[in-house]
Amino acid sequence: MIVEAKKARFDEPLRLKSGALLPQYEIAYETYGELNAARSNAVLVCHALNASHHVAGTYAGEPDNVGWWDNLVGPGKPLDTDRFFVIGVNNPGSCFGSTGPMSVNPATGKPYGSSFPVLTCEDWVEVQARLADQLGIRRFAAVMGGSLGAMQALQWTISYPDRIANAIVVAATPKLTAQNIAFNEVARRAITTDPDFHGGDFYQHGVKPKRGLRLARMIGHITYLSDDAMMEKFGRVLRSGSIGYHFDVDFEVESYLRHQGDKFAEYFDANTYLLITRALDYFDPAHMHGGDLSAALAPAKARFLVASFTSDWRFSPERSREIVKALIDNRRDVSYAEIDAPHGHDAFLLDDKRYHAVVGAYFGNVAREVGASPGTGVAVELPGEPLVHQGDADALTSGFAA
């Protein structure tokens, strides 16, 4: 499936939850499949921490640049693009084509850098709703996401309950634990204490805080995998076959983490990492309701599929069950799958037959609801300018958890 990235421009200022104003901005997005005549078969896919709008397929001339959820989205796949019109969206604050810290601030003519405002899941959902308006989509058949993307799907049901029929919430949590916030803070400190960070305005110095980004990625990657998965993949295997009695790489797992850190530091933006992890920290819909998640989810009208993975210790199944309970308290239609998988938090990105069967069966029901049989779509012309792709293929298809 050959796809093309596009951009949507918005000149109407966006008032953020923080009170700051984003005067104008652009959003990178991709679409897969065809929108039907009734415009009722649209599905929005929200991305996780360091992913992008490139959800599925490849770009012309770039056969190795595969979308980060290509095993799940596409013709004949669990989210079947022969039936659904799927939109992959890149949030503001990102470094993959949407307006973010690397973008030029029209007020100064320089990159936003440290002046780019802090964003929340509520802000992202507002932008996604504006994109839907621009594309002429009044109501989504479904909004889907894993991890941070699942938080956005959940927020959709609160912010726009009449514009979403189904929410697919995978590997989620209703709010971060203190431990999760702590992991994010250590990662951020690794970046902000890098001498090349320059208070977030490193662009003007022609440098990049790669040391901090490497450490942040290594910390994060450890939390995305389970202990069993790491033992199965690496064990205590020595890289050279014998102990070296030094402080350089001795174990294979050390080599793997350094490789992941080096790769990440080449393509990701440090300020974007700070912004997105902060949005993770701040997500807590129950906060405005005295900690009552049931009250927070009372506005939701959608049907739900909630899925978790037994070995996910960062966003454990217990957290998904909190969401399920709150929905049941509100007598909402909810299906819950707790999948026995050894891969940890990253399981939502992997090709697990049981997981994909659950998602495929759910979307089969959604397809029947909207009358989306294969081949029923029609070509509907949509606005948007082509986007020149940024980022290397290997980087964009590896480890998008949180």
Helices (H) and strands (E) in the chain, counts: 11, 17
- The beta-strand segments (E) located in 171-267 are none
Catalytic entry in 147, 159, 308, 320: 147
- Active-site residue 147, yes or no? yes
List beta partners, residue 202: none
What SS3 state is found at 303? strand
- Alpha helices by DSSP H, listed for 297-352, are 317-329
Count the residues in the chain.
402
> Crossing angle of helices 210-224/270-282, nearest 10°?
40
Catalytic entry in 98, 345, 346, 352: 345
Distance between CA 283 and CA 181 in Å, rounded? 11
> Crossing angle of helices 178-192/270-282, nearest 10°?
160
DSSP tag of 115: G
- Active-site residue 115, yes or no? no
Q: Do residues 32 and 86 lie in contact, with contact meaning Cβ atoms separated by under 8 Å?
A: yes
What SS3 state is found at 331? coil
- Active-site residue 312, yes or no? yes
Distance between CA 238 and CA 13 in Å, rounded? 55
Distance (Å) of CA 106 to CA 3, 21, 99, 131, 205: 30, 13, 11, 22, 20
Catalytic entry in 312, 343, 346, 389: 312
Instruction: Return the active site residues.
Output: 147, 312, 345
